[in-house]
Amino acid sequence: MENTKKTTIHDIAEKLNVTASTVSRALNGNPRISDTTRKAVLKTARELNYEPNQIASALRSGRTQLIGMLVPTINRAFFSSIIRGVEEVANSLDYRVIVSQSNEVFDNEENAVKAFLNARVDGIIASIGKNTQQFDHYEQVLERGLPLVLFDRTTPNLQTSQVVIDDYQGAYLATSHLIEQGCTRIAHFTTERKIDIYKERYRGYVNALEDHGIERDETLIFSGNLQLEDGRSHAQDLLNSGADFDAIFSASDYAAMGAMQVLKEKGLKIPEDVALVGFLNEPFTSFTDPPLTSVNQFPIEMGHTAANLFFNALNSEKKEIVPKKTVLQPELIVRASSLKKKS
Amino acid sequence: MENTKKTTIHDIAEKLNVTASTVSRALNGNPRISDTTRKAVLKTARELNYEPNQIASALRSGRTQLIGMLVPTINRAFFSSIIRGVEEVANSLDYRVIVSQSNEVFDNEENAVKAFLNARVDGIIASIGKNTQQFDHYEQVLERGLPLVLFDRTTPNLQTSQVVIDDYQGAYLATSHLIEQGCTRIAHFTTERKIDIYKERYRGYVNALEDHGIERDETLIFSGNLQLEDGRSHAQDLLNSGADFDAIFSASDYAAMGAMQVLKEKGLKIPEDVALVGFLNEPFTSFTDPPLTSVNQFPIEMGHTAANLFFNALNSEKKEIVPKKTVLQPELIVRASSLKKKS
């Protein structure tokens, strides 16, 4: 019969009739503990198979079993789900994930990478900030021979593995769905940001229209920051302009939500008068009335893929790893906000 | 005239007409770089005031300027806002926050603390998992003389500074508000969990009823896991029971959302037939129809307070710090789901 219960400092303390603090101090080499006590504690710790100090063993192996994960913002279900996906793989291999957010500020991103190196992580999994144009901080990671995996927001300027989602395809699916529901005057909410993902969504929208023989109408395209307030003001501008429109495809769920609020305030019916599709499948999309159709980017799977690319690189025998690019396919989650034809 | 632009390895590379990789390798002591090149790089780095390696300076001062922050789950606006609050203070003092989540699993919590110590953090700010009964891992932090601050979910078993919110007061405000709106048959959704915050919310509900001369009715109290599905099934049970009720105060927004869905499906009007109040002020509460009244726990402010307690402890001259407990007061955010009387 094997005793699988893990020994704690309390077990050692009980056996020796001393306090847990004394045991902890003795194990940590605190000079206030007498040699006699220290020896007794160490002897009992061995007898009870007390787990050897993990830090010491990490120093021996040269690995900390830490992955530094850098995200633009923790406070988005998309990114926190990717973190979860990375953790699922990492924890199963006895690795821990420590996370830092850049809040889209370049200095924060640079400092976070430094902090991770400072914490002696075994490598980094990162998504690049919206305004990042320089990549020295990432190059330093590669120079040290540490694995670096980029996800979602990547750059061709770094020769390293990356996992992205096909934003073009997501937008193409969303727009085609609206056309199949009978919509022909489809507005689009986008952003001027340099970052590729929004350009790809715009391109998917335009190509879906073209492929269905619908001409793009610039008066139906609105650009802002894709926040709730942007969606509200775009919807108001649309209504004020007197333009004919029967659907909105927004490159973000928040802006779609803003539009939903304004349309309902004006007494318009969703989807009968205006069909609505967002992007990213934020958790709130199933709580709105009507629930919002959106594009699922499979963040958990993206996390799994990023972690697998990371461990492939970490365990690669060669110092020079051939970078891999994985492209995931999104899916459209159809909810009541766009479902005009009951099938 | 001062040149405030930060020197990068590209500047050094350009001046010497070598690649950035060569500069980086030279600065990192890579043996593939010749002595001549290394010396030229170091000389130019000095001339251009290239920032000295932060890791080396951290090792010199004995501080890494890292705070390890442990949360039950990153994927909740409440916790990610607390992280944001801690960061605002920490970053202003040139500290970085690295985050790990326990996902309410004790082993994860223990491993995260070890990982932080392994990463040589200067201290830890933590919220305890729902099922944690042993605190050895935290005691090890204190034994090393590192600051430990607990927030939201704390324990009397650790002698260390903590910041909590007055959950009793939040529930008392919520219940009193429903009574002021004319409700007298107020159901409550709660949980059996050992963790104090839900007991306090329950106590606030009961005391508000008593203070207004309303007798508590056990048939109106439902216990589960406070997720959306729990709220749905509690609402169904309430309706099936034939019990007379005119309001629901749920100890979580998710369970309140589940109830809202069921009530609307049954054709009941909110707040006219049933007034509804949740707890935690999740971002989705303003997107529901009608928007959901909830209790704001001021997570950003909780983060600020936790960080201030942390730096007080870190900068304390004495090794023995007197633990401080800070209690924040919540506020009720009244939205349409509970507003029966237009003022």
CA A84 to chain B, closest CA, distance in angstroms equals: 9
Band the pLDDT of B48: cuts 50, 70, 90.
confident
> Which of A66, A93, A96 to mutate: most B Cβ within 10 Å?
A96
Tell me what the mean pLDDT of segment B256-277 comes to: 97
Using an 8 Å CB-CB cutoff, list chain A residues near B103.
84, 87
Q: Going from the N-terminus, what domains does chain A have, and what CATH number goes with each?
A: 9-52 (1.10.260.40), 61-166+299-330 (3.40.50.2300), 167-296 (3.40.50.2300)
Can you give the pLDDT at residue A278? 98
State the amino acid at position A246 in one-letter form: D
Name the least confident of A124-138, B58-72, B246-260.
B58-72
pLDDT over 70 for what percent of chain B?
A: 90
Annotate A288-301 with b (16+ C-beta within 10 A) or e (fewer): bbbbbbbbbbbbeb
More confident residue, A255 or A3: A255
CB spacing of B83 vs A64 below 8 angstroms? no
- pLDDT of residue A194 exceeding 70, the answer is no
- pLDDT of residue A81 exceeding 60, the answer is yes
Q: What is the mean pLDDT of chain A?
A: 88
8 A C-beta contact, residue A234 and residue A263: no
CB spacing of A54 vs B99 below 8 angstroms? no
- Cα dihedral: A331, A336, A338, A339 (round 10): 100
> Which of A143, A148, A160 to mutate: most B Cβ within 10 Å?
A143
Can you give the pLDDT at residue A10? 79
Q: What would the two tokens of residue A18 be?
A: 């001393």
Q: Which residue of A has its CA nearest to B100?
A: A98
Tell me what the mean pLDDT of segment A143-150 comes to: 93
CB spacing of B10 vs A97 below 8 angstroms? no
Tell me what the mean pLDDT of segment B335-342 comes to: 90
Can you give the pLDDT at residue B122? 94
CA B263 to chain A, closest CA, distance in angstroms equals: 13
Residue B298 to residue B62: CA distance in whole angstroms = 34
Can you give the pLDDT at residue A14? 85
Q: What would the two tokens of residue A1 be?
A: 């019969």
Q: Which residue of B has its CA nearest to A158?
A: B21
- pLDDT of residue B142 exceeding 50, the answer is yes
Tell me what the mean pLDDT of segment A32-47 comes to: 80
Can you give the pLDDT at residue A30? 60
Q: Which residue of A has its CA nearest to B13?
A: A136
- pLDDT of residue B168 exceeding 70, the answer is yes
pLDDT digits (tens, 9 = 90+) for B293-308: 999 999 999 999 999 9
Name the least confident of A195-199, B116-120, B277-281.
A195-199
**Which of the listed ranges A53-67, A242-256, B92-106, B110-124 does the model predict with the highest average pLDDT?**
A242-256
State the amino acid at position A251 in one-letter form: A
Can you give the pLDDT at residue B201? 95
Q: What would the two tokens of residue B266 be?
A: 């049954």
More confident residue, A244 or A24: A244
Q: Is the pTM of this model over 0.80?
A: no
Can you give the pLDDT at residue B300? 94
pLDDT digits (tens, 9 = 90+) for A48-70: 777 644 444 444 457 889 999 99
Band the pLDDT of B256: cuts 50, 70, 90.
very high
Across-strand partners of B148? B124
Band the pLDDT of A2: cuts 50, 70, 90.
very low
Residue B47 to residue B41: CA distance in whole angstroms = 10
CA A101 to chain B, closest CA, distance in angstroms equals: 8
> Which of B12, B65, B80, B118 to mutate: most A Cβ within 10 Å?
B118
Tell me what the mean pLDDT of segment A169-188 comes to: 98
pLDDT over 90 for what percent of chain B?
A: 65
Band the pLDDT of A109: cuts 50, 70, 90.
very high
State the amino acid at position A52 in one-letter form: P
More confident residue, A289 or B118: A289
**Which of the listed ranges A30-39, A45-54, B33-42, B209-218 does the model predict with the highest average pLDDT?**
B209-218
State the amino acid at position A144 in one-letter form: R
**Which of the listed ranges A81-95, B56-70, B255-269, B321-335 does the model predict with the highest average pLDDT?**
B255-269
Can you give the pLDDT at residue A196? 78
Can you give the pLDDT at residue A197? 85
- pLDDT of residue B41 exceeding 70, the answer is yes
Tell me what the mean pLDDT of segment B117-133 comes to: 91
8 A C-beta contact, residue B178 and residue B186: yes
Name the least confident of A253-267, A289-303, B32-46.
B32-46
Tell me what the mean pLDDT of segment A11-32 comes to: 76
8 A C-beta contact, residue B263 and residue B61: no
Name the least confident of A21-25, A259-263, B27-31, B248-252.
B27-31
State the amino acid at position B259 in one-letter form: A
Can you give the pLDDT at residue A204? 97
Band the pLDDT of B321: cuts 50, 70, 90.
low
Q: What is the 3-state secondary structure (H, E, C) of A142-182?
A: HHCCCCEEEECCCCCCCCCEEEEECHHHHHHHHHHHHHHCC
- pLDDT of residue A319 exceeding 70, the answer is no
Q: Which residue of B has its CA nearest to A284?
A: B284
pLDDT digits (tens, 9 = 90+) for A266-314: 999 999 999 999 999 998 999 999 999 999 999 999 999 999 999 998 8
pLDDT digits (tens, 9 = 90+) for A90-104: 988 889 999 999 998
Q: What is the mean pLDDT of chain B?
A: 89
Q: What's the full length of chain A, in residues?
A: 343
CA A213 to chain B, closest CA, distance in angstroms equals: 36
CB spacing of B100 vs A98 below 8 angstroms? yes
More confident residue, A319 or B339: B339
Q: Beta-strand (E) ranges in B4-79?
A: 66-71
More confident residue, A153 or A50: A153
8 A C-beta contact, residue A95 and residue A121: no
Tell me what the mean pLDDT of segment A307-335 comes to: 86
Q: For residue A290, say if its preceding peptide bond is cis, omega within 30 degrees of 0.
A: yes
Can you give the pLDDT at residue B5? 60
